[in-house]
Amino acid sequence: MLNQKLCLKSLFLLGIISLLVALSGCGDYQSNVESGNLKGTLHWGNGTEPQSLDPHIATGVPEHHIISSLMEGLIHKDGETLEPRPGVAESWDISDDGRVYTFYLRKNARWSNGDPHNAHDYVWSWWRALQPALGNLYAYMYFPIHNAKAYYEGELKDFDQVGVKALDDYTLQVTLTNPIPYFLQLLDHYSTYPVHRATVEKFGSADQRGTRWTYEGNIVGNGAFQLKEWKINRRITVERNPYYWNADNVGLNQVVFYPTENVTTEERMFRAGQLHYSGIPSDKIEAYKQAGDPSLRIQPYLGIYFYRLNVEQPHLKDKRVRRALGMTINRDQLVSQITKGGQIPAYAITPPGTMGYYPESDLTFDPKAAKQLLADAGYPNGEGFPTTEILYNTSEGHRKIAVALQQMWKKYLNIDVTLLNQEWKVYLDTVSNHHYEIARAGWIGDYVDPNNFLDMFLCNGGNNRTNWCNPEYDQLILQQAPTAKTQQQRLEVFKQAEKLLLEEMPVIPIYVYTSNNLVHPSVKNFGRNILNQSNYRDIYLEPTSSSEVTP
Amino acid sequence: MLRFIASRLLQAIPVLLVVISVTFLLIHSAPGGPFSDEKAVPPEVARALEAQYNLDQPLWQQYVSYLSDVVRGDFGPSFKYSGRTVNELIAAGLPVTAELALYAMLVALFIGISAGVFAAIRPNTLQDYIPMSAAMLGICMPSFLLGPILILVFGIQLEWLPISGWGDIPGDKILPAITLGTGYAAYIARLSRSGMLEVLSQDYIRTACAKGLSERLIIFKHALRGGLIPVIAFLGPAFAGLLGGSFVVETIFQIPGLGRFYVTSAFNRDYTMILGMTIFFAGLIIVFNLLSDLLALWLNPKLRQQARGGN
C-alpha cells in the first residue's frame, strides 16, 4: 500500500518540479522596453487590428498611427504647436486672396522603393481619393478645393476642372473655393496623403477597395518608415525608410504596433515593460496620479462629450425645456467625482482654444433659473413632464454619467428619466433613425477649427441626428464663415452661430475629452497636442537609469 | 464502423445547413450594418460599399450566392478588414488557437486526472475533500479573474513569466495555457473521480484485489481504462469548447487567435466573418464529437458491441 501512495505522490512531485523548472528557465528575459531602448525600437500599444492601411479607405485612430509612420503629406504639423511644418513640400506660397496655394516639392523626396516622388503623384492620388466607388469616408476633407465636391458627387465629370494642378514636376497648385484658414492642416491628414500609383495599379484598379497593395511586401510609401511585417492580430512592424528625404534625422529604427484590443491588457503590458506607450483604463488613473508616476500623461483632447436631444419629441420641442436640461447638469461635480480623468466641463460644443477660438456661452449651472424655464414651458416643478429615456451605447463610463444626470434632473427639475443601453451598432442605428429622446454622443475633431464641430448641426448634416434645423445657423456656417474677410471676422461668425446653437440647445455639451496615456520616460520628443497626434519621425529613445515603472 | 462514421457525417449536412441559415437570418436582421459609424456615411459611399459586397441584392439572392461560395470552401471577403478574406483570417488565427487549446487540454488532463484519481482512491477522506474543493473552486473561477491574478503574481510581482504575446518571448505560452486549462481541469477531476469510483466498485476490481494485485497495478492497469470513459466522452466537446471559447484568454494575454476575431466580428457586423467562423466552429464541434465517440467505442467493449448490433 505504501508503494502505491509513494507512486502517486511522486507523480505529483514530478509535475510540480517540471513546472518549477519551466518557470525558472524563463526568469531572465529582457523586456521589450529594455531591448527596444538599446535597439531604437519603439513598442506601441495601438488599440485594434487596423482595418486597412490604405490612406483613402482607412478611418480610425489605430490606422492613423500606422499610416502616419508609413506616409507623409505635403506638410506635417509641429508635435507641440500643431503649426504647419514642411513635409514633402519644402515651401509654399498663399495668394493674397487666400485661395491659391502653390507648393514647391522637395527634389530629394523619394518613394520607399527609390522611385522619384513629384507633384503628379498628388494629382493622381487626389483624383483617386475622390472616386465614389472607393468609398472614401474622408472625401469631404477635399471639399474646400475648388470643384472637388461637385466632382465627387458626379455633377462634374472632368477632373481637370478641379482645383489641383501640377505646374511642373515639383510645383503643385491648389485652388480653393473659399479662403479657409485650416486648409494646410488638412494636408497632414492621412486622407490627403499621396499613394504610389504603380503599386496601387499593380494590384487592381485605382478605385477598387480591398486590393492587396497595402500588404507586407507590396506597400510603397513616402514616410519616415516602411512596412516590415504585418502579422494579423499580433503586430505590425515598420522600419526606417532609407529613401525618406529626412532619413538622417529620424530617431527610431523601428516601431512595433500591437493590436491589443483591450485597454486593461494594454496597461498591464505597459507595467510589465512590454510597451513604451499605452492607453490607461479610467479607473486606474487615480492610482497612477497618487503614485506620482511620470509616465501618466493627461492632456486636453479636441473632442466633446455631449447629449443629443431629439427635438421632434413633443416634450423636447420647446427650447426652454432643452435649456432647462442643460442648465441642471453640475459639470464640475461630474468631472471631479465621476469621470475623474481630468476632463474639462464644457459649456459649448467647440472645445475652447480651438485655433484661438473661445466660444461665448451663457450656459451655466443654474437650477433655479432652469426650474423657472421648465415652469414657463408648462411643467411647473416637473409636473406633467413625461418620463424620458436616455440612450447610450453599452459602456460602464457612459452608464455612470447617465445615472448622474438622471439624479441631477430628478433633484433639480423633479422629472423622471430612465436609462437604456444598446450595443454600439444598434445604438448607431437607433440614433441615426431618430428613434430616441435623449442620446449620448461624442465627437473628435479631425482638424483644429470650429467649423469641424459646428458644421455637424446643419439642417441636412449627416451627423446632426437631432432633427434640429435653423436656416439662420446654416446661413452663418455655409455662407458667412467661408467668405469672411479675416480670420477674426470668421471666428466672430462662428461665435454667433455657436451662441444660436446654445440658445436653442438641440445638443447639451457636457465635457471636453482628455487623452490619457502612459508614455515610458525613455521616450523623448514625444510632443503634446490636442489632437494627440504623434510624430514618429521626431521621437527618439533614451534609456533611463531605471527602466522600471511601477505605479 | 465505416457505416457509423458515414452516417454521422451525413447527419452533419442538415445540421450545418440549419446553422448557416439561422446565423444568416439573425445577423441580417440585427440592427446596424457593417459600415455604419459614428461619423455619418454619405449616401454615395454607402451605395458604393453595398454594391461591392452585394448587399444591394435581395436577401435570398445573397443567401444563395453565399451558400454556393461556402460549398466551394470560400467564406468570402471580410467586410471589416479591407482586402482580407475570411479564409485567410481563419488560417492566421487557427494554428495559434489550436496550439493554445492543445496546451490547455494537456494542463487540464494532467491536473484533472491526477486529482480525480487521487481523490477516488480514498473517497470521503481529506485526500478526497481537498482536491475536490479545489476543483469546485476551479470550476467557479472564471478565466477573466484567474488570468489577471496569475499575471499579477507571476508576471508583474515575481517577474517570472511574460504576460502577453504568443511565441514571442520564451515562456509566454505558460500562463495562458494554465488559465484556459484550469476550468477544464476541474471538470475533468470531478469526472474522473466519479468514473473511478464507479469502476472501483465493480466486481472485476474486487477480483483483482482478491487475487492480491498491488493497488498501483489495479489502478493503472485495470481501473483507469474504464474510469476515464466519462473523461474521454467529455474530451470532444471540451476541445471544441477550448477552440471556440478562448476569447477571454486571448484578450487577456494578447494572443493572436481566432477567439478575438469571432467576438469582434459580431460587434463589427462583419457578416461574412461571423458566418465563416460559425460554420467553422460548428464543423469542429461535429468532428470532435465524432472523434470522442470513436475513442469511447475503442475504450469500451460494451459500447462497441452495441454499435455493431445497432448498425
Shortest CA gap B206–chain A (Å):
16
Check residue A545 and give its pLDDT.
Answer: 56
Kindly state the average pLDDT of the residues B65-91.
91
pLDDT-based confidence at residue B165 (cuts at 50, 70, 90): confident
Average of pLDDT values for B252-278? 89
Tell me the chain A residues in contact with residue B268 when contact means C-beta distances shorter than 8 Å.
425
Is there a contact between A232 and B92 if contact means CB atoms under 8 Å apart?
yes
Kindly list the strands in the beta sheet with A89-94, ordered across the sheet, starting from the edge strand earlier in the chain.
Answer: A89-94, A100-105, A171-175, A164-168
- Three-class DSSP labels, A58-93: CCCHHHHHHHHHHCCCCEEECCCCCCEEECCEEEEE
* pLDDT score for A28: 52
Residue A288 clears pLDDT 90, i.e. is over it: yes
pLDDT at B89: 92
Q: With an 8 Å Cβ cutoff, are B252 and A11 in contact?
A: no
Mean pLDDT across B247-259: 88
Determine the pLDDT at residue A27.
47
Q: What pairing do the DSSP bridges indicate for beta strands A84-86 and A75-77?
A: antiparallel
Q: B309 vs A257, which has greater pLDDT?
A: A257
The nearest CA of chain B is from the CA of A35 a distance in Å of 12
Q: Among B242, B235, B244, B243, which residue's Cα sits nearest to residue B291?
A: B235
Q: What is d(CA B197, CA B191) in angstroms, rounded to the nearest whole number?
A: 10
A181-190, B34-43, B70-79 — which is least confidently predicted?
B34-43
Rounded mean pLDDT, A32-52: 93
Residue A52 Cα, gap to closest chain B Cα (Å)? 6
Give the span between the Cα atoms of A94 and A99, in whole angstroms.
7
What value does the mean pLDDT take over residues B7-19?
91
Yes or no: say if A167 and A161 are a contact pair by the CB < 8 Å rule: no
Rounded Cα distance, B42 and A139, in Å: 10
Q: Which chain B positions have a beta carbon within 8 Å of A49's beta carbon?
A: 81
Q: Which alpha helices (H) appear in A258-391, and where do they start and end?
A: 263-271, 285-290, 319-327, 331-333, 367-376
**Per the CB < 8 Å rule, is B83 touching A27?**
no
Residue A10 at interface with chain B, using a CB cutoff of 8 Å: no
Q: How many CA atoms lie within 13 A of A224 on its CB side?
A: 22
Instruction: Name every chain A residue with its beta carbon within 8 A of the beta carbon of B111.
Output: 15
Residue A519's beta-bridge partner residues?
A: A277
A533 vs A470 pLDDT, higher one:
A470
Helix (H, G, I), strand (E, B) or coil at A345: strand
- Taking the Cβ of residue B77 and every Cβ of chain A, the question of whether any pair is shorter than 8 Å is answered with yes
Q: Which residues contact A5 (CB under 8 A, 6 or more apart)?
A: none
pLDDT value of position B60: 93
A265, A431, A444, A452, best to mutate vs chain B, most B CBs in 10 Å:
A265
Contact B259, B97 (CB under 8 A): yes
Condensed to tens digits (0 to 9), the pLDDT of residues A496-520 reads 999 999 999 999 999 999 999 999 9
Q: Please tell me the predicted confidence (pLDDT) of residue A16.
A: 53
Residue with cell 478588414: B81
Q: What is the pLDDT of residues A404-461, one digit of tens each?
A: 999 999 999 999 999 999 999 999 999 999 999 999 999 999 999 999 999 999 998 8
Give the B window 271-300 contacts with A, CB below 8 Å.
none
> Which of A52, A152, A153 is the closest to B83 by Cβ?
A52
What is the average pLDDT score of chain A?
Answer: 90
Q: Which residues pair with A240 in a beta bridge?
A: A225
Q: Give the mean model confidence (pLDDT) for residues B112-136.
A: 85
- Give the residue among A300, A301, A299, A302 at the shortest CA–CA distance from A445: A302
Torsion angle in degrees (nearest 10) through CA of B85, B86, B88, B93: 150
The pTM for the full model equals: 0.88
Binding-face residues of B in 24-53 toward A, CB within 8 A = 30-33, 36-42, 44-45, 47-49, 52
Burial class (CB in 10 A: 0-12, 13-18, 19+), B194: middle
Q: What is the pLDDT of residues B200-236, one digit of tens each?
A: 888 888 888 888 777 777 877 778 878 888 888 888 8
CB contact under 8 A, A132 and B165: no
Q: Tell me the chain A residues in contact with residue B155 when contact means C-beta distances shorter than 8 Å.
A: 268, 272
Q: What DSSP designation does A190 have? A: G
Angle, vertex CA B153, rays to CA B150 and CA B158, nearest 5: 135
Q: What is the pLDDT of residue A550?
A: 42
| C-alpha cell belonging to residue A31 | 523586456
CA distance A544 to chain B (A): 20
Say yes or no for a CB contact (<8 Å) between B82 and A261.
no
- Average pLDDT on A365-393 reads 95
- Most confident option among A13-27, A533-547, B297-311: A533-547
Q: Are A29 and B36 inside 8 Å of each other by CB?
A: no
More reliable by pLDDT, A524 or A29? A524
Confidence of residue A5 (pLDDT cuts 50, 70, 90): very low
Beta-ladder partners of A120: none
Higher pLDDT pick, A209 / A150: A150
Across chain B, mean pLDDT equals: 86
Distance CA A244, CA A44 (A): 22
| Of residues A320, A281, A196, A246, the one with CA closest to residue A517 | A281
Which pLDDT does position B70 carry in this prediction?
92
For A284, counting Cβ atoms within 10 Å of its Cβ (0-12 exposed, 13-18 middle, 19+ buried), the class is middle
| pLDDT over 70 (residue A547) | no
Q: Would you call A428 and B256 a contact, using CB atoms and an 8 Å cutoff?
A: no
Cβ pairs A/B, distance under 8 A: 176
Q: Is the separation of the CB atoms in A190 and A68 below 8 Å? A: yes
Strands A388-393 vs A438-444: parallel, antiparallel or unpaired: parallel
Mean pLDDT calculated for residue range B260-266: 86
Separation in Å, CA B213 to CA A353, B198, B206, B264: 87, 19, 10, 56
Quick check: A357 pLDDT over 90? no
Q: What is the pLDDT of residue A539?
A: 95
Q: What pLDDT band is residue A21 in, cutting at 50, 70 and 90?
A: very low
Residue numbers in B near A57 (CB within 8 A): 82
Nearest CA-CA partner of A71 in A57, A96, A88:
A88
Banded pLDDT at B169 (limits 50, 70, 90): confident
Q: What's the pLDDT at A15?
A: 56
- Per-residue pLDDT band at B2 (split at 50, 70, 90): confident
Do residues A214 and A52 make contact, with C-beta atoms less than 8 angstroms apart?
yes
Pairing between strand A235-240 and A225-231? antiparallel
pLDDT tens string A218-262: 999 999 999 999 998 899 999 999 999 999 999 999 999 999 888
**Residues B93, B276 contacting (CB under 8 angstroms):** no
Give, rounded to a whole angstrom, the gap between the first and last alpha carbons of chain A.
54
* DSSP string over chain B: -HHHHHHHHHHHHHHHHHHHHHHHHHHHHSSS-TT--SSPPPHHHHHHHHHHTTTTS-HHHHHHHHHHHHHTT---B-SSSTT-BHHHHHHHHHHHHHHHHHHHHHHHHHHHHHHHHHHHHSTTSHHHHHHHHHHHHHHHS-HHHHHHHHIIIIIIIS--S--S-SSSSTTTTHHHHHHHHHHHHHHHHHHHHHHHHHHHTSHHHHHHHHTT--HHHIIIIIIHHHHTHHHHHHHHHHHHHHHHS-HHHHHHTT--SHHHHHHHHHHHT-HHHHHHHHHHHHHHHHHHHHHHHHHHHHH-HHHHHHHHHH-
- Residue B88 main-chain phi, psi, to 5 deg: -65, -40
Residue A147: predicted pLDDT: 96
The model's confidence at residue A26, banded by pLDDT at 50, 70 and 90, is: very low
Amino acid found at B309 = G
The minimal CB distance from A210 to the residues B32, B38, B83 is found for B83
B237-246: average pLDDT: 81
Check if the beta carbon of residue B166 is closer than 8 Å to that of residue B101. no
Give the containing element (helix H, strand E) for A400: helix A396-413
From the list A305, A319, A323, A318, the residue with the least C-alpha distance to A367 is A323
* Residue B308 C-alpha, separation from nearest chain A C-alpha, in angstroms: 38
pLDDT for res A39: 94
A73-77, A324-328, B64-68, B232-236, range with greatest mean pLDDT: A324-328
Give percent of chain B above pLDDT 70: 98
Grade residue A74 by pLDDT with cuts at 50, 70 and 90: very high
Which residues contact residue B130 at a Cβ distance below 8 angstroms, ignoring those fewer than 6 apart? none
- Work out the average pLDDT over A531-545: 86
pLDDT band for position A130 (cuts 50, 70, 90): very high
